[in-house]
C-alpha cells in the first residue's frame, strides 16, 4: 500500500527593516557590532541585500513612517535622543540600486498613501516595477502618527475607519491606472509606420469619488507586474476587511499561537467571502531570531543584546503605535492605567487586554518590538518556525533585526542550511517576478478587485 506523507509547507522569509537607525530594537544601535548607523551609505545596503539573497530571502521588506514619534511625553525629544525611527530616509530610493546588485530578491516598500496623490504614486511604483524587472511590492499603509498630519498641513489624522475608507478608494484609483489604462497590446514599437503605441488601446481614467477625482492616462507603459505585489498589515476588524479584499501578503504581529491562528483563519475566511482563494494570501509573522552554533552561544548573544535595550525608546514606539502616552504613568503601573492618556484615535477595542505592567511591556519590546523570539541552534529555530507554520497556519516570517546586519548574517549562515535540509525552504529562487516567485502567477488573479479594471473583462 502506498502512503503519501503530506508535503511540508514551504517557508517564506522577509527581512523586516527600515531606512533608519532604530527600526524595532531601540538602543541596540549602541552595540559595538551594530552597523545601522551606516544606513546613509549604499555600500551597507548592497551588502545587506546580497546577504539576504545568499540566504534566499523572498524580500527585503522596508517599513516606513512619516512624522516623528511625539506621543510619548507629548514631544519628540525622547525619539530624537534615542534615534527611534528618526532620522529616517525614504525607502523607495534604495530599491533601484539594490535591484541592480541582486537578481532575485524582492523589495516590499512601504508607502503611506495618506500623503501621496495616487496619480504620481502610481507612476513611481510602475517605474520601480520596470527597473526591478517586476520585483517590487507595496506595503499599503495609511499612517498612524498625528505628527505626520500636522507636518502636512492637516491638524490631525482622519479617524481609524475613515483612513481605511480612503485607502479603499485610493486602491480603486491606482488599480484603474495600473490595470486599466494601457491594454496589453497597446505598444507596437513599429519603426516602419512610426507608431510606437496605439492610442485606441490606451484609455483615459476618469474617477469621480468621495475622496479622489482624476482624469488622465497612466504615464508608464505596462510594467512586468502592473500592480506591484500588495502587502498589508492591519489586524483590526476594519483592517482585516481591507486585507481580505486587497492584500496578497499580510503581516501580523503577536505572540500567542492560538490568537494568531484565530486571526489568520479570520483573514482567510474573509478573503473567501470576497470570492478569493484563502491560500492566495501569504501570511507573515514578525519574529526576531537569535541563532547560535550552540544553545549557550545563542543565549549569551541574547543576554549581551539585552544589556543594550533602551526602555524609554521602546515606550516611544509603543506610544506612537497605540496612541497612548506611556511617559505619563509610572513604569510599574499596569498597562490599563495608561489608557487615560490616549492622545490619538486608535480603535483597538477589539484587542484582548494586556495584563503586563508598563515596564514589562517596554522590556519585552526592546528586542524586535516584542515580536516572538526564536532562540537557539539551527534546529531549535527551525523546529519553532515549523511549529508556527503548522499551528498558526502562517506562511512565513518577517524577521526583525536585533543587531544589524549580524541578525541576518547569523540566520543565513546558521539556520538557512537546516531549513533547506528539512525540505521546507528553497535551495534556489524560481525565475520570474516577485508575484511569480511567491505564487506562480504573473498577474493578480481574476478574483482580485484590481482585475475588473482590465480591458476585455
> Which residues contact ligand FMN (rule: CB under 6 A)?
63-65, 110, 112, 139, 141, 143-144, 160, 233-236, 238-239, 251-253, 286
Query: Closest distance between ligand FMN and the C-beta of residue 79, in Å?
Result: 15
Query: Closest distance between ligand FMN and the C-beta of residue 52, in Å?
Result: 18
Q: How far apart are CA 233 and CA 222, in angstroms?
A: 27
**Closer to ligand FMN at the Cβ: 173 or 263?**
263
Residue 191 CA from chain centroid, whole number: 43
**Closer to ligand FMN at the Cβ: 88 or 205?**
88
Alpha carbon dihedral 110, 290, 435, 448, in 10-degree steps, equals -70
**Closer to ligand FMN at the Cβ: 348 or 359?**
348
Question: Minimal CA–CA distance to 302: which of 381, 376, 382?
Answer: 376
| H or E element in which residue 269 lies | helix 257-273
Alpha carbon dihedral 304, 310, 315, 321, in 10-degree steps, equals -70
In this structure, what DSSP letter does residue 332 have?
T
- Please answer whether residues 233 and 252 qualify as being in contact, where contact means their C-beta atoms are separated by less than 8 angstroms: yes
**Closer to ligand FMN at the Cβ: 105 or 252?**
252
Q: Three-class SS of residue 284?
A: strand
Query: Closest distance between ligand FMN and the C-beta of residue 65, in Å?
Result: 5
Query: Closest distance between ligand FMN and the C-beta of residue 379, in Å?
Result: 26
Query: Closest distance between ligand FMN and the C-beta of residue 298, in Å?
Result: 24
**Closer to ligand FMN at the Cβ: 64 or 146?**
64
Query: Closest distance between ligand FMN and the C-beta of residue 148, in Å?
Result: 9
**Closer to ligand FMN at the Cβ: 52 or 141?**
141
Question: Minimal CA–CA distance to 175: which of 453, 456, 455, 389?
Answer: 453
In this structure, what DSSP letter does residue 65 have?
-
**Closer to ligand FMN at the Cβ: 63 or 414?**
63
**Grid cell listed for 362:** 517596554
In this structure, what DSSP letter does residue 33 have?
T
Phi/psi at 141 (nearest 5 deg)? -130, 155
**Closer to ligand FMN at the Cβ: 365 or 414?**
365
Query: Closest distance between ligand FMN and the C-beta of residue 19, in Å?
Result: 11
Query: Closest distance between ligand FMN and the C-beta of residue 143, in Å?
Result: 5
> CB within 8 A of 33, min separation 6: which ones?
403, 406
Other C-beta atoms closer than 10 Å to the C-beta of 269 total: 12
- Please answer whether residues 159 and 345 qualify as being in contact, where contact means their C-beta atoms are separated by less than 8 angstroms: yes
**Closer to ligand FMN at the Cβ: 348 or 452?**
348
**Closer to ligand FMN at the Cβ: 286 or 318?**
286
| H or E element in which residue 100 lies | helix 95-100
Query: Closest distance between ligand FMN and the C-beta of residue 68, in Å?
Result: 13
The alpha carbons of the chain give a radius of gyration, in whole angstroms, of: 22
Using CB atoms within 10 Å of the CB of residue 192, give its burial: 0 to 12 exposed, 13 to 18 middle, 19+ buried: exposed
**Grid cell listed for 327:** 511617559
Query: Closest distance between ligand FMN and the C-beta of residue 297, in Å?
Result: 28
Using CB positions, name the residue nearest to ligand FMN: 239
Residue 374 CA from chain centroid, whole number: 19
Amino acid at each position: 500500500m502506498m502512503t503519501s506523507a503530506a508535503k511540508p509547507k514551504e517557508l517564506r522569509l522577509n527581512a523586516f527593516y527600515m531606512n533608519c537607525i532604530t527600526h524595532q530594537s531601540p538602543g541596540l544601535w549602541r552595540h559595538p557590532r551594530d552597523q545601522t548607523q551606516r544606513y546613509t551609505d549604499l555600500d551597507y545596503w548592497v551588502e545587506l541585500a546580497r546577504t539576504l539573497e545568499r540566504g534566499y530571502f523572498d524580500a527585503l521588506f522596508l517599513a516606513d513612517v512619516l512624522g516623528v514619534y511625539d506621543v510619548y511625553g507629548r514631544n519628540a525629544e525622547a525619539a530624537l535622543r534615542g534615534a527611534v525611527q528618526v532620522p529616517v530616509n525614504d525607502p523607495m530610493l534604495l530599491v533601484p540600486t539594490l535591484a541592480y546588485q541582486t537578481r532575485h530578491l524582492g523589495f516590499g516598500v512601504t508607502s503611506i498613501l495618506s500623503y501621496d496623490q495616487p496619480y504620481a504614486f502610481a507612476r513611481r511604483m510602475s517605474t520601480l516595477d520596470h527597473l526591478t524587472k517586476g520585483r517590487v511590492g507595496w506595503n499599503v499603509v495609511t499612517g498612524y502618527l498625528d505628527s505626520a498630519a500636522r507636518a502636512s498641513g492637516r491638524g490631525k489624522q482622519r479617524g481609524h475607519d475613515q483612513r481605511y475608507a480612503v485607502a479603499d478608494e485610493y486602491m480603486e484609483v491606482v488599480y484603474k491606472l495600473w490595470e486599466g489604462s494601457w491594454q496589453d497590446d497597446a505598444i507596437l514599437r513599429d519603426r516602419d509606420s512610426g507608431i510606437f503605441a496605439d492610442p485606441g488601446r490606451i484609455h483615459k481614467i476618469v474617477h469621480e469619488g468621495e475622496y479622489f477625482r482624476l482624469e488622465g492616462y497612466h504615464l508608464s507603459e505596462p510594467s512586468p507586474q502592473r500592480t506591484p505585489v500588495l502587502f498589508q498589515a492591519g489586524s483590526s476588524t476594519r483592517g482585516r476587511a481591507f486585507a481580505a479584499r486587497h492584500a496578497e501578503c499580510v503581516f501580523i504581529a503577536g505572540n500567542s499561537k492560538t490568537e494568531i491562528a484565530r486571526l489568520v483563519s479570520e483573514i482567510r475566511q474573509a478573503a473567501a467571502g470576497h470570492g478569493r482563494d484563502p491560500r492566495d494570501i501569504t501570511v507573515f509573522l514578525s519574529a526576531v531570531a537569535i541563532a547560535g552554533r550552540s544553545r549557550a552561544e545563542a543565549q549569551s548573544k541574547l543576554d549581551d543584546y539585552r544589556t543594550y535595550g533602551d526602555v524609554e525608546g521602546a515606550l516611544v514606539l509603543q506610544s506612537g503605535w497605540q496612541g497612548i502616552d506611556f511617559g505619563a504613568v509610572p513604569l510599574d503601573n499596569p498597562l490599563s492605567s495608561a489608557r487615560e492618556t490616549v492622545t490619538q484615535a486608535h480603535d483597538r477595542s477589539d484587542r484582548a487586554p494586556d495584563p503586563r505592567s508598563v515596564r514589562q511591556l517596554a522590556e519585552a519590546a526592546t528586542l524586535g518590538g516584542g515580536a516572538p523570539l526564536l532562540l537557539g541552534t539551527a534546529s531549535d529555530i527551525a523546529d519553532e518556525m515549523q511549529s508556527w507554520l503548522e499551528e498558526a497556519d502562517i506562511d512565513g516570517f518577517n524577521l526583525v533585526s536585533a543587531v544589524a546586519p549580524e541578525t541576518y548574517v547569523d540566520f543565513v549562515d546558521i539556520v538557512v542550511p537546516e531549513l533547506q535540509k528539512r525540505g521546507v525552504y528553497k535551495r534556489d529562487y524560481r525565475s520570474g517576478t516577485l508575484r511569480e516567485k511567491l505564487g506562480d502567477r504573473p498577474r493578480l488573479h481574476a478574483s482580485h478587485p484590481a482585475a475588473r479594471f482590465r480591458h476585455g473583462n
